[in-house]
Structure 1
């Protein structure tokens, strides 16, 4: 067995298998600035120390410039070691809105073209924020014009009330109705089309309908003096609305400088406005777990340990001690320890007693119950 510099001995038992296990979230939520992040784990399953090169693999339509691996892209991983990799997503302002995806991949330093990709990570790019119009310039110009025109026309302009906006298409809500996911508004269509849109998120009982919405109420975020209705084009679903239906109330406001007095409007009701609600979503469901408790498998036979760990959602990497054990040797050590929380899909390393020679194992099994293969593996068959 030879040594490969910093990479340690090559283990023939892992040749041909993927050198890494990559795990992480299935979705990443972007905020109103089209930015978000996610944490991923890269686990060494080669049975030897390695250096991993971590990269982001964008899907069709996604631009590589949107993604950034935080910190060094190359990581040293010991035997059964796991590294946490943070990836940031920042979509360009001019990029189109829509659904995109990416995957986090890892490759051995000596084989950079053989990339092991993790699960697909979906994200929704919202419509870019409209730049706020500098209304103060219009107001200053209007006031200056009013002063020049004279008192009579000034009074007429200040008392003139434009008509409220009218809606031809209601707003809609998109996104996964699950705790921690981000919901987004597709605005309705209003006349005039330069109306300012204000969005307020509401929660409704499971039994509520679009026609019977009397019990819908604003979703409150924050506590104490910071408590306020959830507003804006997006809303990250909280645990307090599990089992409830979500909708957004869109208020269109005509911000016409001619309706302003010297000090501006006191509140929204001072300006012509109209509101419309989106359809209600399905009831909110809780977020699925991303970690699980590692089963304690020390002192258990190897086959039973593998069965328990696999059923709990973990991968298994095995090493053996120098001490001779049984044909199905006992586990003498594990990492992480039993009862610890670990990411689902991550690797649990176990150490077993070294099994005896093949002929010794055959000696206590009846000959008729064996199947001998060309590779000299054997298994017991029958009851």
Structure 2
């Protein structure tokens, strides 16, 4: 059965629910791990690259969309990284950044996302003379415009930005300081991204200390391309509030001959402390974490009660959306409405948003919407 099917799907609890892509799209969702440069509209890339004199593999929007997915899905790291060369080339002026941010908000809202955090590296958008504050302010402007337009369409959404340092670069506190400077102007946190193997989180210890000194929040890409040592550093040395991916925490979980699962000390700590895992199933297939969604560790991590969240990572490169990610998990693991709601509330609890605002979204939007879906679906939905 395809993930987009609207036929009844029966899960292991014996419940049935109509949870295909279209049904899930009507439900509120929360996106915590979504790269701004990984979700552009192909038509926008074509227009901006033409303005900037940047070459593309094709100037047909649908063909370009296919190219991005096929390049990212090829198994070639060179081709995968090339995809970002093209999207970043389309994000080099203030107006271009504002448009991309605005369209990020509108595309998420159209998919039923009510809260989204867009992460990107400001240092990658300086080719045409912008300064770092100009970049942050342009993205912030686009987010505000997108939220206003979505609200006018009856698709209310809250969107913020996470500023990112590239971990293979020279460690500084410059980008972390932007997170502090603009913390009340749409910037909700900080991250490090890029090549994980060989570039441990502790290289940016000074940046994380600066953030903690200023009571600011940060997530760290860890446990995707490298394993437990990266997660341990992110959690125990750096003090990450969330883990970007973190999927390789399963390497600290063993299964005995009777099928019982045993958590090592690090896995137990992450679960006990409710450290959120920003899991990205489709993206992880492209980077070799699993060969199918059904074999992705998210199923085990959910069963064990980790604070899991579901995310897209790069919507363009993975040809996905939040609704598609959930539909794939419904299909692979038999998740029902309760499961989708639980994971969504996990994400909302983990957002870099003030407590009262998180609670208002949970109590005022998420829970009522899922309750209404159950009421409309009748006894087949839990």
TM-score range, shorter chain: under 0.3
* Bigger Rg, which one: 1
TM-score (norm 2): 0.26
Kindly indicate which of the two structures has a greater share of residues assigned to helix. 2
Kindly indicate which of the two structures has a greater share of residues assigned to strand. 1
More relative contact order in 1 or in 2 (CA 8 Å, sep 6+)? 2
TM-score (norm 1): 0.26
